[in-house]
């Protein structure tokens, strides 16, 4: 009888221990599911760790390349090219390029949507604004939308850098195969850089045209029927369209020039060939008239 009691106690203890392990395992599994669910709320775009210090601010162009005070060799070295043929192996493939472009497209669309809201809300004075709906949207934007813009801009920069590195690897391979022994490393770098900038601009121009085409379809429609909060969203769409068109024009210039060349500021007073100040003509005294064509708008 005593042995039976001891056996019963042993079985009871073992059962309790097993139940404890099961509960612990179940809790870990639930936590794992919850963690996965939380991660699913904020999916990450796939991109490598090329960061924003590689670029001029996105306000200037979608992809502007090196800054004015940076050498071509220094800029290309950030992407792994240091003047040697094998620096960027393996060379990016056509399927690799297409994969990056597919990743870029939805991020680009999100970016211009968020920039449109950013520019529209910056133009509104919340103190003098009488529209309560607009004030509510401004408050909501500052607390939720702006962080999304910052995050999306960083993702966009990373993907653009991947795209440039992909194109750079192809151009570097071609130029090194065709180069002569007398060609200097700086000469090669300049040519590789210009061709790479033209190629990436060509790809971006196609994507920008797609975004503009979409915005041009929905913007006139929403202007006709939107009121209240919907009108706020519509105005933001108009700002997105302006900004996207600005980037398209700049990217076309980069494609043609093989790099970003900002317009120099005007200095001094215009003079005639004799060194005297030019007298104003009847044409120069006329006032400039602006129409409402969104393609002519410039965003500061």
Label residue 20 by pLDDT band (50, 70, 90): low
Kind and range of the H or E element at 184?
A: none
In this predicted structure, the answer to whether residue 67 has a pLDDT above a threshold of 80 is yes
Burial class of residue 126, CB neighbours in 10 A (0-12, 13-18, 19+) = exposed
Average the pLDDT over 114-118 and give the result.
90
Give the pLDDT confidence of 234-254 residue by residue, as tens digits: 999 999 999 999 999 999 999
Q: What is the pLDDT of residue 144?
A: 78
Contact 191, 175 (CB under 8 A): yes
In this predicted structure, the answer to whether residue 100 has a pLDDT above a threshold of 60 is yes
In this predicted structure, the answer to whether residue 271 has a pLDDT above a threshold of 70 is no
Give the pLDDT confidence of 134-187 residue by residue, as tens digits: 566 667 767 777 889 999 999 999 999 999 999 999 999 888 887 766 567 788
Check residues 56 and 105 and name the one with the higher pLDDT.
105
Label residue 87 by pLDDT band (50, 70, 90): confident
Q: What is the DSSP secondary-structure string of 246-298?
A: HHHHHHHHHHHHTS--PPPPP-S--B-TTSSBPPPPTTTTSPP-----GGG--
Beta bridge partners of 271: 277
Q: What is the pLDDT of residue 110?
A: 94
Check residues 51 and 32 and name the one with the higher pLDDT.
51
Q: Give the pair of three-digit tokens for residue 254.
A: 């980069």
Alpha-helical regions (H) of the chain: 2-41, 72-77, 94-122, 132-140, 146-178, 185-225, 229-257
Q: Give the pair of three-digit tokens for residue 184.
A: 């200097």
Q: What is the pLDDT of residue 43?
A: 31
Residue 196's nearest CA partner among 287, 91, 58 is 91
Q: What is the pLDDT of residue 4?
A: 52
In whole angstroms, give the CA distance from residue 17 to residue 14: 5
Burial class of residue 253, CB neighbours in 10 A (0-12, 13-18, 19+) = middle
* Omega cis (within 30) before 204: no
Label residue 39 by pLDDT band (50, 70, 90): very low
In this predicted structure, the answer to whether residue 48 has a pLDDT above a threshold of 60 is no
Q: What is the pLDDT of residue 125?
A: 64
């Amino acid at each position: 009888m005593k042995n039976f009691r001891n056996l019963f106690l042993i079985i009871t203890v073992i059962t309790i221990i097993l139940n404890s392990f099961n509960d612990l395992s179940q809790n870990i599994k639930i936590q794992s599911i919850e963690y996965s669910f939380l991660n699913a709320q904020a999916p990450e775009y796939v991109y490598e760790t090329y960061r924003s210090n590689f670029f001029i601010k996105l306000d200037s162009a979608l992809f502007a390349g090196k800054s004015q005070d940076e050498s071509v060799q220094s800029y290309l070295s950030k992407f792994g090219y240091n003047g040697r043929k094998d620096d960027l192996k393996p060379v990016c493939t056509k399927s690799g390029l297409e994969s990056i472009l597919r990743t870029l497209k939805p991020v680009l669309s999100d970016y211009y949507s968020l920039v449109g809201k950013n520019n529209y809300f910056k133009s509104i004075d919340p103190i003098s604004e009488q529209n309560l709906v607009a004030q509510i949207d401004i408050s909501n934007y500052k607390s939720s939308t702006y962080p999304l813009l910052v995050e999306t801009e960083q993702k966009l920069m990373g993907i653009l850098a991947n795209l440039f590195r992909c194109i750079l690897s192809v151009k570097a391979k071609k130029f090194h195969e065709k180069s002569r022994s007398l060609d200097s490393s700086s000469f090669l770098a300049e040519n590789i850089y210009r061709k790479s900038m033209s190629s990436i601009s060509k790809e971006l121009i196609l994507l920008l045209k797609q975004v503009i085409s979409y915005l041009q379809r929905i913007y006139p429609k929403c202007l006709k029927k939107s009121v209240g909060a919907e009108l706020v969203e519509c105005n933001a769409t108009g700002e997105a369209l302006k900004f996207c068109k600005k980037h398209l024009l700049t990217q076309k210039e980069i494609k043609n020039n093989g790099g970003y060349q900002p317009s120099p500021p005007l200095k001094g007073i215009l003079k005639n060939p004799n060194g005297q100040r030019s007298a104003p003509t009847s044409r120069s005294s006329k006032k400039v008239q602006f129409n409402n064509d969104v393609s002519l708008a410039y965003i500061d």
